[in-house]
Structure 1
Amino acid sequence: MTVYVDIGALDDIPAQGARLVRTPQGCVAVFRTLDDQVFALDDRCPHKGGPLSEGIVHGTSVTCPLHGWVFDLATGLATGADAGAVRTFATRVQNRRILIDAALIARMNAA
Protein backbone atom coordinates (compact mmCIF):
# COMPACT_ATOMS: atom_id res chain seq x y z
CA MET A 1 0.00 0.00 0.00
CA THR A 2 1.41 3.35 -1.03
CA VAL A 3 1.46 6.10 1.57
CA TYR A 4 1.22 9.65 0.27
CA VAL A 5 2.13 12.94 1.95
CA ASP A 6 0.04 16.06 1.37
CA ILE A 7 2.32 18.84 0.14
CA GLY A 8 -0.25 21.52 -0.62
CA ALA A 9 -3.18 22.66 -2.68
CA LEU A 10 -3.24 22.24 -6.45
CA ASP A 11 -3.96 25.97 -6.72
CA ASP A 12 -0.68 26.74 -4.88
CA ILE A 13 1.09 25.96 -8.16
CA PRO A 14 0.13 28.04 -11.19
CA ALA A 15 -0.81 26.19 -14.37
CA GLN A 16 2.41 25.47 -16.28
CA GLY A 17 4.36 26.28 -13.12
CA ALA A 18 6.34 24.58 -10.39
CA ARG A 19 6.83 24.53 -6.66
CA LEU A 20 9.99 23.56 -4.78
CA VAL A 21 9.59 21.08 -1.94
CA ARG A 22 12.57 20.96 0.41
CA THR A 23 13.28 17.69 2.19
CA PRO A 24 16.16 16.76 4.50
CA GLN A 25 17.51 14.64 1.61
CA GLY A 26 17.26 17.26 -1.13
CA CYS A 27 14.87 19.33 -3.17
CA VAL A 28 11.99 18.04 -5.29
CA ALA A 29 10.37 20.09 -8.06
CA VAL A 30 6.60 19.61 -8.31
CA PHE A 31 5.06 20.66 -11.63
CA ARG A 32 1.49 21.41 -12.72
CA THR A 33 0.55 21.23 -16.37
CA LEU A 34 -2.08 23.30 -18.13
CA ASP A 35 -4.58 20.42 -17.74
CA ASP A 36 -3.83 19.99 -13.99
CA GLN A 37 -1.59 16.93 -14.23
CA VAL A 38 1.02 16.93 -11.44
CA PHE A 39 4.55 15.51 -11.66
CA ALA A 40 7.53 15.50 -9.30
CA LEU A 41 11.22 15.30 -10.21
CA ASP A 42 14.58 15.86 -8.57
CA ASP A 43 15.17 19.60 -8.79
CA ARG A 44 18.73 19.32 -10.17
CA CYS A 45 19.46 18.98 -13.86
CA PRO A 46 22.19 16.32 -14.33
CA HIS A 47 23.96 18.51 -16.91
CA LYS A 48 25.04 21.50 -14.81
CA GLY A 49 22.82 21.30 -11.72
CA GLY A 50 20.24 23.81 -12.93
CA PRO A 51 17.11 24.22 -10.79
CA LEU A 52 14.35 22.53 -12.80
CA SER A 53 11.73 24.18 -10.57
CA GLU A 54 12.74 27.45 -12.27
CA GLY A 55 12.41 25.96 -15.76
CA ILE A 56 9.74 26.50 -18.38
CA VAL A 57 6.87 23.99 -18.32
CA HIS A 58 5.40 23.20 -21.75
CA GLY A 59 3.00 20.33 -22.29
CA THR A 60 4.37 17.48 -20.17
CA SER A 61 7.98 18.68 -20.36
CA VAL A 62 10.21 21.13 -18.53
CA THR A 63 13.17 23.00 -19.99
CA CYS A 64 16.15 23.57 -17.69
CA PRO A 65 16.73 27.31 -17.21
CA LEU A 66 20.53 27.06 -17.52
CA HIS A 67 21.28 25.26 -20.78
CA GLY A 68 17.94 24.29 -22.30
CA TRP A 69 17.86 20.56 -21.64
CA VAL A 70 14.27 19.31 -21.94
CA PHE A 71 12.94 16.61 -19.60
CA ASP A 72 9.78 14.53 -19.90
CA LEU A 73 7.86 15.10 -16.66
CA ALA A 74 6.42 11.56 -16.61
CA THR A 75 9.69 9.66 -17.14
CA GLY A 76 12.40 12.11 -16.10
CA LEU A 77 14.27 11.37 -19.33
CA ALA A 78 15.95 14.11 -21.33
CA THR A 79 14.47 14.41 -24.80
CA GLY A 80 16.18 15.24 -28.06
CA ALA A 81 19.93 14.90 -28.48
CA ASP A 82 20.67 15.33 -24.76
CA ALA A 83 21.34 12.19 -22.72
CA GLY A 84 20.40 12.14 -19.08
CA ALA A 85 17.61 11.63 -16.61
CA VAL A 86 16.33 12.82 -13.27
CA ARG A 87 14.54 10.76 -10.65
CA THR A 88 10.73 10.95 -10.64
CA PHE A 89 8.35 10.63 -7.69
CA ALA A 90 4.78 9.31 -7.73
CA THR A 91 2.12 11.97 -7.24
CA ARG A 92 -1.63 12.19 -7.29
CA VAL A 93 -4.30 14.84 -6.82
CA GLN A 94 -7.14 14.21 -4.41
CA ASN A 95 -9.75 16.84 -3.56
CA ARG A 96 -7.50 19.44 -5.26
CA ARG A 97 -4.66 18.57 -2.86
CA ILE A 98 -1.27 17.40 -4.17
CA LEU A 99 0.01 14.17 -2.66
CA ILE A 100 3.49 12.71 -3.17
CA ASP A 101 4.66 9.17 -2.43
CA ALA A 102 6.21 9.30 1.03
CA ALA A 103 8.18 6.07 0.49
CA LEU A 104 10.07 7.53 -2.45
CA ILE A 105 11.15 10.54 -0.44
CA ALA A 106 12.20 8.32 2.48
CA ARG A 107 14.19 6.10 0.09
CA MET A 108 16.41 9.05 -0.66
CA ASN A 109 17.91 8.48 2.82
CA ALA A 110 19.51 5.25 1.66
CA ALA A 111 21.72 7.01 -0.89
Structure 2
Amino acid sequence: MNWLDIGALDDIPLRGARIVRTKLGCVAVFRTDDQEIFATSNTCPHKGGPLSEGIVHGQKVTCPLHNWVFDLNTGQAQGADEGSIRTYAVRVDGGRIMLDATNLMASNAA
Protein backbone atom coordinates (compact mmCIF):
# COMPACT_ATOMS: atom_id res chain seq x y z
CA MET A 1 0.00 0.00 0.00
CA ASN A 2 1.04 3.56 -0.65
CA TRP A 3 -0.11 5.54 2.42
CA LEU A 4 -0.30 9.31 2.18
CA ASP A 5 -0.78 11.60 5.18
CA ILE A 6 -3.72 13.82 4.21
CA GLY A 7 -4.27 15.71 7.46
CA ALA A 8 -5.26 15.59 11.09
CA LEU A 9 -8.29 13.64 12.25
CA ASP A 10 -9.43 16.68 14.22
CA ASP A 11 -9.61 18.70 10.98
CA ILE A 12 -12.80 16.83 10.09
CA PRO A 13 -15.81 17.43 12.34
CA LEU A 14 -17.75 14.46 13.66
CA ARG A 15 -20.32 13.41 11.02
CA GLY A 16 -18.63 15.78 8.59
CA ALA A 17 -16.45 15.61 5.50
CA ARG A 18 -13.53 17.26 3.75
CA ILE A 19 -12.21 17.09 0.19
CA VAL A 20 -8.75 15.95 -0.88
CA ARG A 21 -7.92 17.24 -4.34
CA THR A 22 -5.82 14.98 -6.55
CA LYS A 23 -4.75 15.03 -10.18
CA LEU A 24 -7.40 12.38 -10.81
CA GLY A 25 -10.25 14.21 -9.11
CA CYS A 26 -11.58 14.88 -5.65
CA VAL A 27 -11.78 12.34 -2.84
CA ALA A 28 -14.34 12.90 -0.08
CA VAL A 29 -13.12 11.94 3.41
CA PHE A 30 -15.89 11.35 5.95
CA ARG A 31 -15.63 11.14 9.75
CA THR A 32 -18.49 9.01 11.08
CA ASP A 33 -17.27 8.46 14.65
CA ASP A 34 -14.42 9.58 16.92
CA GLN A 35 -11.86 7.30 15.23
CA GLU A 36 -13.82 6.15 12.14
CA ILE A 37 -12.94 7.54 8.71
CA PHE A 38 -14.06 6.62 5.17
CA ALA A 39 -12.88 7.87 1.78
CA THR A 40 -14.89 7.79 -1.47
CA SER A 41 -15.17 9.56 -4.77
CA ASN A 42 -16.88 12.91 -4.26
CA THR A 43 -19.33 12.75 -7.17
CA CYS A 44 -22.75 11.09 -7.04
CA PRO A 45 -23.30 8.95 -10.18
CA HIS A 46 -26.93 10.12 -10.42
CA LYS A 47 -26.60 13.86 -11.11
CA GLY A 48 -23.03 14.64 -10.07
CA GLY A 49 -23.85 15.96 -6.61
CA PRO A 50 -20.91 16.75 -4.29
CA LEU A 51 -21.09 13.99 -1.67
CA SER A 52 -18.79 15.90 0.69
CA GLU A 53 -21.69 18.35 1.10
CA GLY A 54 -24.15 15.56 1.88
CA ILE A 55 -25.56 14.39 5.19
CA VAL A 56 -23.41 11.84 7.04
CA HIS A 57 -25.46 9.38 9.11
CA GLY A 58 -24.19 6.12 10.55
CA GLN A 59 -21.82 4.72 7.93
CA LYS A 60 -23.73 6.32 5.06
CA VAL A 61 -23.87 9.60 3.18
CA THR A 62 -26.92 11.12 1.50
CA CYS A 63 -26.32 13.11 -1.69
CA PRO A 64 -27.36 16.76 -1.25
CA LEU A 65 -29.03 16.97 -4.67
CA HIS A 66 -31.51 14.11 -4.90
CA ASN A 67 -31.16 12.16 -1.63
CA TRP A 68 -29.43 9.08 -2.97
CA VAL A 69 -27.89 7.19 -0.01
CA PHE A 70 -24.51 5.44 -0.27
CA ASP A 71 -22.90 2.90 2.07
CA LEU A 72 -19.45 4.28 2.88
CA ASN A 73 -18.06 0.75 3.36
CA THR A 74 -19.00 -0.59 -0.07
CA GLY A 75 -19.89 2.49 -2.11
CA GLN A 76 -23.21 0.90 -3.11
CA ALA A 77 -26.39 2.97 -3.38
CA GLN A 78 -29.07 1.93 -0.87
CA GLY A 79 -32.75 1.25 -1.42
CA ALA A 80 -34.25 1.43 -4.90
CA ASP A 81 -31.39 3.53 -6.29
CA GLU A 82 -28.84 1.76 -8.48
CA GLY A 83 -25.24 2.81 -8.72
CA SER A 84 -22.06 3.02 -6.74
CA ILE A 85 -19.20 5.30 -5.84
CA ARG A 86 -15.53 4.39 -5.63
CA THR A 87 -14.14 3.73 -2.14
CA TYR A 88 -10.53 4.09 -0.99
CA ALA A 89 -8.65 2.51 1.91
CA VAL A 90 -8.08 4.96 4.74
CA ARG A 91 -6.90 4.66 8.35
CA VAL A 92 -6.08 6.76 11.39
CA ASP A 93 -2.51 6.60 12.69
CA GLY A 94 -1.51 8.73 15.66
CA GLY A 95 -4.28 11.23 15.02
CA ARG A 96 -3.35 11.57 11.34
CA ILE A 97 -5.50 10.42 8.42
CA MET A 98 -3.68 8.10 6.04
CA LEU A 99 -5.11 7.50 2.54
CA ASP A 100 -3.94 4.58 0.40
CA ALA A 101 -3.13 6.19 -2.94
CA THR A 102 -2.50 2.88 -4.71
CA ASN A 103 -6.08 2.48 -5.98
CA LEU A 104 -6.40 6.19 -6.54
CA MET A 105 -3.47 6.12 -8.95
CA ALA A 106 -4.63 2.85 -10.54
CA SER A 107 -8.15 4.20 -11.19
CA ASN A 108 -6.81 6.25 -14.09
CA ALA A 109 -4.63 3.50 -15.56
CA ALA A 110 -5.49 1.50 -18.70
Question: TM-score w.r.t. structure 2 length?
Answer: 0.96
1:18 maps to 17
Output one character per residue of 1:15-51: Cα deviation in whole Å (capped at 9) or x when no partner.
0000001001101000001343100000000000000
Q: Is the CA contact (8 Å cut-off) linking 1:93 and 1:99 kept in structure 2? A: yes
Structure 2 unaligned regions, length at least 5: none
1:91 maps to 90
Q: Deviating runs (4+, > 3 A) in structure 1?
A: none
1:47 maps to 46
Aligned residues: 110
For 2:42, give the aligned amino acid. Answer: D
Task: Give the whole-Å Cα distance in 1 for the aligned partners of 2:77 and 2:107.
Answer: 21
Q: Is the CA contact (8 Å cut-off) linking 1:3 and 1:103 kept in structure 2? A: yes
Backbone CA RMSD of aligned residues: 1.0
The percent identity for this pair of structures is: 65
Q: What is the deviation of 1:3?
A: 1.9
For 2:37, give the aligned amino acid. Answer: V
Q: What is the deviation of 1:53?
A: 0.4
Q: Counterpart of 2:74 in 1: which secondary structure?
A: coil
Task: Give the whole-Å Cα distance in 2 for the aligned partners of 1:35 and 1:59.
Answer: 12
1:73 maps to 72
Structure 1 unaligned regions, length at least 5: none
Q: Counterpart of 2:107 in 1: which secondary structure?
A: helix
Task: Give the whole-Å Cα distance in 1 for the aligned partners of 2:92 and 2:47.
Answer: 31
